Amino acid sequence: MDPNVRTVLQILIFAVLYLILFIILLPSLIRLLDQTTGKIAYGVLVAGGVGVALRLRQLSQRI
């Protein structure tokens, strides 16, 4: 298998797992958004999602 395709598949799998994690954690985070820790946790999850999206965009341009 081409190394670029393998990398893209790995990142896609990671992105799907990250999305599932975000959906699982979202209900409990909504209750915590009034607190500082909830805002920090939500910010970390959103920043991670943006990072995954940028990595997917970079890999798609390479193929």
| Percent of the chain topping pLDDT 90 | 2
Smallest CA-to-CA distance from 27 within 4, 13, 45 is with 45
- The single residue listed with the structure tokens 């959906």 is 23
d(CA 24, CA 59): 27
d(CA 12, CA 60): 11
The pTM (predicted TM-score) of the whole model is 0.69
pLDDT in tens, 23-39: 888 888 888 888 898 88
Sites in the chain below the pLDDT cut of 70:
63
